[in-house]
Every structure is written in C-alpha cells, then in structure tokens.
Chains A and B, each alone.
Chain A
Amino acid sequence: MKRLTLETLDNEELLSVKDLVVRFYTYEGIVKAVERANLKLRKGETLGIVGETGSGKSVTAFTIIALTPSPGRVEGGAVYFRRAQGDVVNIIKLKEVELLRIRGKEVSMIFQEPNAALDPLYRVGDQIAEAILSHRLPEILENVIKFVEGELRRGRSGFGARLELWAYRKMLENPKSAILAILRRIPIIKNLMTRRLKHVVREEIIELLKLMEIPDPERIIEAYPHELSGGMQQRIMIAIALACSPVLLLADEPTTNLDVTVQAQIIDLIMRLKNKLNMSIIYITHDMGVIAEISDRVAVMYAGNIVEVAPVKELFNNPLHPYTRALLESIPRPGSPFKSIPGTIPNLVNPPSGCRFHPRCPYVREACKLEVPELVKVSEDHYVACLLYDGEIYGKYGGHGRSEEILSDKRRNI
C-alpha cells in the first residue's frame, strides 16, 4: 500500500477523499465496501458519482458526513474538508462535538427515500425547526431579543415579555442552563417563555419553504410527513438540509424513487438553489442521464473502487475504463438493442483479486488478475484506474500498450 501523504487542500478545493477504506463486519464476513477511494471536490462544483447498487457510492457519501452506517467501519484514509473559516480538518479524525458543528451546518445530506428520512411522528415544521435551532440558535435569539426589547421600549408588553426576555438572554448565555431546563418542564411557563422564539422560527421556516417553491407553506409546516407527496417530502428534506446554508450538499439518489416529472422539478430546484447559495454538490445516482445534465465532473465507482474520474463531457466522449464504457453502452437508446453488462457485481466479502472488474472485463489480461490498478492521470483532469493505461505495470508482464487496442475498439463501437 502506498504511504499516505498528508497534504492540505489547495485553494480551489473544498473536499478531498484520500485512500478511503470502509469495511462492514457482518456474519457472512468482512464486506470490503470501499477500498482506497480517492476523490476531490472543488468549490462550487457538482461532482456526480455513478455506479451500480452496492458499488460503495452511498457509503462514501455517508462517510464524508461521518455517519458510516452501522456495521461499517472506516479502516483507513482521510476525508479532508475545508471549514467555513478556512481551516482544513480530517472528518474521520474529528470528535463528535466538532462533527455536530459541521453536520447540517456546513455539510448537509438529502436521501433516496424522503419518506423514510423524515420522522413519521413529528410535524415537518418541527423537523425543520430542529435543523435551524441546532445551529442558528444564538443568531435567532439575538433577533428575538432585539424584537422583544423594541416592544418593551414602546411599552407594549408587561410581565410575560420580561420573562421571555430574561429566558432568551439566559438561553443565549448558556443553552444548557439548569433553571431553563426545569422551567421548560412546566407546560404553561414553557409556552410563555418561548412564544416569540417560536414565532420567529416559524417565520424563518416559512421563508425557507418559499425558497423551496412550496405552495401554501403555512399549511405544510403543520403537516405530518405521511400527508405529503414524495416530491413534497423531498422538498422538505432539501429545506432541512439547506436551513443553515451549507457549503456542501451530499445528494444520495434524491430522485430515484420519485415520478419522472417530479424528478425533473427536484433536480431543477437543487441546481437553482446551488447557484443561489453557492454550494458544492456531490450527486450520487445510477442514472447517466441525470449525471450528464447536472455534473461538472463525474466519478465512476465499481465494487468499492473509483475507476474513472473525468469532466462530464470528456467522460461521455472519451470513456477510458472498460466499465465506464459498458455503463454508457447500457443506456437504453431507441432503435438499438438493449445491452447489459455481463456478469454480476462481485461479492465484496471475497472480491476478485487484482482489478475487481476483471471477471467481467472484455479486455482482461493476466496482469489484471494480479495487480490492483491505481488511478493514473491520462490527460488533464482525466484519471482512470485500469492497467491498460498504466504502461509501467503493464510492461512488467511483457505486454505493450494495449490501450491502443481498446481505444480503437471503442471508436468502432460508438
């Protein structure tokens, strides 16, 4: 294994995943879900990650936000992230307290099944409020305090307002204050104490929902998740994710389970909000059409490896990895016969040796079974992990530039 070199991000970059290794410890064995994945994300960029189910693309996204799902463990590598203040942190090494300040505030996530991602027992308004209150409480409290002070100066309110003002100041000083915790247990006082705060947060939420192009937000915030359509639920999820204007949005197949028409609306919305809020996006999908439409650059994942990274145009015009090519060819086109990739995604408990794609690869050579290919740069911004393009290793096995063969082969096909 190559020695990990600690490098900070250059100015253009927001995020860098370095040699990430994630394994799942199950009864069936150790699932090597992500194996030495490398990714970079620039500021304001949309990076698409494509791959089949089980290729490790969602696991990578969950790991970026330090929420690797349960039997999974990060076994190596780093996720460098540039915080809003400019310092670079390794998310993998951060303490939970630090992560709480990043999750939902600087990095947010939206999910494949909006229905499953919302707690069925709480009104959607409450769930949006959670996101706002967990990160923006001080800012909102200051606003409320100013508001109440103004009211008092105009001599409008009496005891209730004074109690509230005291409570808000206390909250601002120390949100975990014991007195407040006790008072909050008493229903009537709790109501009195937080009346204006609730009002301000509610206004915030309504603004946010308007931004999400949700009609009738006053009604929607009172609704329970099951009362909303899938598209509306996803809009709520987006509202939660963007409540604190994050710099990075992780979108894990956000439209896979939606109707086609709704799908287009949601993608449109995400892209418009991206420009408005100046975010970067990592967009995970297996839909090549969506990838072509929205991404700046694309990373292709196969069985836990990133096999090819290239700008979107370059990838579609000049796919280098045999898997990428197969993936592009499997996009159904009218008039041409449906093509699928022969074989199935390998068992990741005992993945194939060498290149994990070799059992399915039409260009397989002896070397592919023995050597693990590294991502190598083939042209500006275009990286591929395939021995066919790695002359150095390939030479060791007495071969010669087979890339010529595959390239010419490709031109014949497309």
Chain B
Amino acid sequence: MVIPTLLGISLLIFGVTQLFDPIERASLYIRDPRQIRFVEEIIKKYGLDQPFYVQYFGWLSQVLQGNLGWSQSLHMPVLEALITRFPATAELVLYSAPLTIVLGIFLGKISAVKKDTVIDHVTRVMAIVGWSLPAFWLGIILMAVFYGGFGIFPPGRLSPWAEAMIRSGKFKAYTGLYTIDAILNLNGDVFIDALSHLVLPVITLTTINVALIMRVMRSSMLEQLGKTYIIAARARGLDSKTVIDKHATKNALIPVVTISGLLTAGMLSGMVITETVFEFKGVGYFAAHAATQLDIPAVLGFALFAGLIFVIANLIVDILYAYIDPRIRLR
C-alpha cells in the first residue's frame, strides 16, 4: 500500500511539472548553479522534449538518487534545504502536536461526558472559534499584543545573541532542536530564549488545531458511551469514573489516533502559514518563500517531502492501531 501511494504521489507531482515549459523544468535536474548556463544541454540530456513516461522515469531515478533539483531562492540543492530546515519544524511540532492532541482529547472527553451542559456548549463554541480563526491573522494579533504591546515572545527562532552563541564553537548542536540542544549543553539562557520564541507559534497552532481533535474525540466518546459494553460494565458495579476512564476513553481513542497522526504529519510537513507569520525558519517557511519566488524545484521537492511524511504517518498510525486494538493484531 505504501509504495503504490508514493508512486501515485510522485506521478501527481511530476504531472504538475508538465505544466511548465522545458526550460523551467530543466532546473529540476540542476545540482549546481554553474550548470544554469547549459540549460539546452540539460534539456537534451534528460530528454525534456521526450514523451511523458520517458521523462517521468528519468526524473524518478534522479529523485531516488536523492537529487531533488536546485533551489534558486535558497541557492542550495532542494534536498539539502529540506534537511537543514527540518529541525526547526520538528521543534515546533515537538511542542504543538502533543499539546494539541492532549488538550483536544481532554476537551472532547469532558464535552462528551457533560453533553448538553454549559461546559459542553462553551467547549464547542471555543472549538468552532479556534477552527474558524485564520492562522495568519491569529498569529498577527498575538504578535501585535505580546511582541508589539509587551515586547515579549519575539518572532524568529532565536535572538541574535543566542544565535551568535550557538554558532560559536562552545555550543554543540546535537539535534538542531534548539531547546533540546540547550538542555544538552546545560545552557539555560539559550533554552529560555528558544522557548520564548516558541510560545506564540505553539499557541497559534494549538488554538487552530485543537478543534479537530476535540471534535473527533467528542463524537467518538459519545458513540462509545452509548454502547452496550458500557452499560454492561456499569451493571457489574463499576463506578462511572472507571467506566469512562478505563473503558469508554480507551475505545474512543481509536479514531483519535488516526486524526492525530494526520495532524502531526501535516505539521511535520511544514506549517507554511504559521512559520511564515512568525518568521520561524522551518520547512514551511522555506516552502512559502520558494513559492513566492516561483522556485519550482523547491516547491515540488517540498510537496514530495510532504507526501512522504504523510505516507510514513499513515504507516505509523496503522502500527499504533494494532497496538491499541487487539482485533487488528490478528491480521
């Protein structure tokens, strides 16, 4: 299932490239800026005037060798750009995804258990409001209030002094995730600085996405609470807390796993808007920047990367499923 999907995605992306003329497509095959002068040769060499399938296999073999083309907006190969930007995105996901998922599960659960009470209504309104907020607008408002108004939680990933510190020889980069590296280097100042840059993007992402998890959790929980095994569990004398926490919640979490997996994958493949608003230089920032510069290889490489992340996420979700649900383990 994984390989056909990946092939499909690559075909789709390559289909998009066919919308360009051969000269633009040639940049997909360039590894080095000096090659730009020899565009005609590249067109010949990779058969860009050849039929679709010939080109596709030519391109695919390049991709499989790790060549995603040259990004003009960043002046580096696309793959390298993705790899250097990924830790920033991963760091943002590291904080936002668990927060969103845990909060969403919690809110969805109480909303279902307290169905049709004030708590339920308030939670649902909050969720709809959060879901309706455009990320870029929320980001701007948060920045205007906190950064503009109070001078805290600045945009970017690090303050200039901290940036200088991690570039100095004394700071060892283990993961590229600054908060974690700061802990490993026992550097409290950098840790706090990195964390303060994370606050607003994490709030933005959580506010917007929590509704997604909450909604799934709520309806899943309501469905479980109506099932016979819940009545049966109560009929054997279990108190409602045990019934809800041990039985209903565990069953209700199964669909939440899927949506959480997809959410995390969506975040890992770059939070284009949030990263752009907060100038948080991760994969999404890079992609948005490339898109506005019409840097085609970068955008396509990014899309391919996003597709790959999603396929992997689906695979992980399947494995998690089997872990939670004994009915799937057999298959």
Contacts and interface: CB of A to CB of B under 8 A. Distances in A.
Contacts of A113: 228
Contact of B228 (A117, A130, A134): A117
Contact of A116 (B229, B236, B247, B324): B229
Interface stretch (B5-13, B60-68, B237-245): B237-245
A368 to B, nearest CB: 36
A96 interface: yes
B40 interface: no
Interface in B231-288: 231-240, 242, 247, 250-251
Given A109-B232, A119-B251, A237-B232, A226 B237 contact: no
A65 B235 contact: yes
Contact of B239 (A100, A121, A241): A100
Nearest to B325: A121
A104 B235 contact: yes
A118 B237 contact: no
A226 B326 CA distance: 9
Q: Which of A108, A119, A127 has the most CB of B within 10 A?
A: A119
B327 interface: yes
Contact of A103 (B236, B242, B326): B236
A227 B329 CA distance: 11
A350 interface: no
Nearest to B231: A67
A105 interface: yes
A127 B228 CA distance: 14
Contacts of B4: none
Q: Which of B233, B236, B239 has the most CB of A within 10 A?
A: B236
Interface residues of A, number: 36
Given A108-B236, A134-B237, A226-B326, A118 B229 contact: yes
Nearest to A117: B232
B237 A135 contact: yes
A131 interface: yes
A103 B251 contact: no
Contact of B235 (A70, A103, A116, A227): A103
Nearest to B225: A70
Q: Which of B226, B228, B235, B240 has the most CB of A within 10 A?
A: B235
A104 to B, nearest CB: 3
Contacts of A102: 237
A120 B235 contact: no
B227 interface: yes
Contacts of B239: 96, 100
B224 to A, nearest CB: 10
Contact of B233 (A130, A227, A241): A130
Contact of A108 (B226, B235, B327, B330): B235
A103 B325 contact: no
A104 B229 CA distance: 14
A224 interface: yes
B231 A130 contact: no
A244 B227 CA distance: 24
Interface of A: 62, 65, 67, 69-70, 96, 100-105, 108-109, 111, 113, 116-122, 127, 130-131, 134-135, 224, 226-227, 237, 240-241, 243-244
19 contacts: A62-B231, A69-B231, A70-B226, A100-B239, A103-B237, A105-B237, A111-B231, A117-B228, A118-B232, A119-B251, A120-B327, A122-B247, A131-B236, A134-B237, A135-B237, A224-B326, A226-B327, A240-B236, A241-B236
Interface of B: 226-229, 231-240, 242, 247, 250-251, 324-327, 330
